[in-house]
Amino acid sequence: MLTYSHDILLELQSIVNGLLGGGRYGVKIRLPHAFVMTILFRKGSLSEKIKIVLRAVFEHSQNLACFAATYKAILFLLKWLSLKLRHLKSDDAQRHVLINVVCRIILFVIDGPSRPKTINDANHQVPGFPGKTQHAAIAGAIGGYLIWGRYSSINNQIVLYLIPRIIEAMILLAREKKISPFHWSLFNFENVYPMKASIVWAIVMVLFESNPHVLHPSLEQSMNEIYRYGPKMTTSYTTRT
């Protein structure tokens, strides 16, 4: 249990490992991308471009490191709080009724309704892992607000990167859980992917041709590079009703 100093040290080690792992991965993933994109598409001297690359790498790695450490720290706090509240002594509960009610409300929020021991309860003794699934949701929400909630081009890029992958993962999970209509054979990958590609490209081309200003600047720039390359067109596209 977390009352032993050895277990607490392991939890602290997982927090430090998250900090180091997030920073290392941020450098590894952002450095080549920022270098190539900055050298190819940014204007300015070489020293200015290098500064841009270093700022991007630092922000990305810093945010990943801070989020990982914050997430692990909140998981540790939730597990510790959950265990403390679970083991409230009955005599203390009788003497402090109001405190007992407040503690039970907190326990309900972080652990959900009381139920028989599940496999996730074993994770209370695994450093760096959530004791309950909802612990991951709470820690992710708090960390997301504190770290990724400040708008920047990099933060927004990462959030946008996650959105479609979350949607796809939830659809796959719905298929595994046999939730209709996602588990129907009609909605298998071979049938769905061509339709997904068709719908996505239909929407993005309509937006680009009619209201390009609503697209993300990097996407609009990429579309202009491809579809507005060459001599300027003498006529402009207008939608007709």
pLDDT tens-place string over residues 193-225: 999 999 999 999 999 999 999 998 888 988 998
pLDDT of 107 reads 79
CA distances from 102 to 99, 105, 108, 132 (A): 5, 5, 10, 20
What is residue 233's predicted lDDT score, i.e. its pLDDT?
57
Residue 220 near residue 213 (C-beta atoms within 8 A): yes
User: What number of other Cβ atoms are within 10 A of residue 201's Cβ?
Assistant: 10
Residue 187: band (very low, low, confident or very high) from pLDDT cuts 50, 70, 90? confident
State CA 120 to chain mean position distance. 22
Q: What is the CA radius of gyration of the chain?
A: 25
Domain residues of the chain, as ranges?
1-150, 152-181, 188-241
Q: What is the rounded CA–CA span in Å between residue 11 and residue 16? A: 9
Q: What is the mean pLDDT of residues 138-148?
A: 96
Query: What is the value of pTM for the model shown?
Result: 0.80
Amino acid identity, residue 37?
M
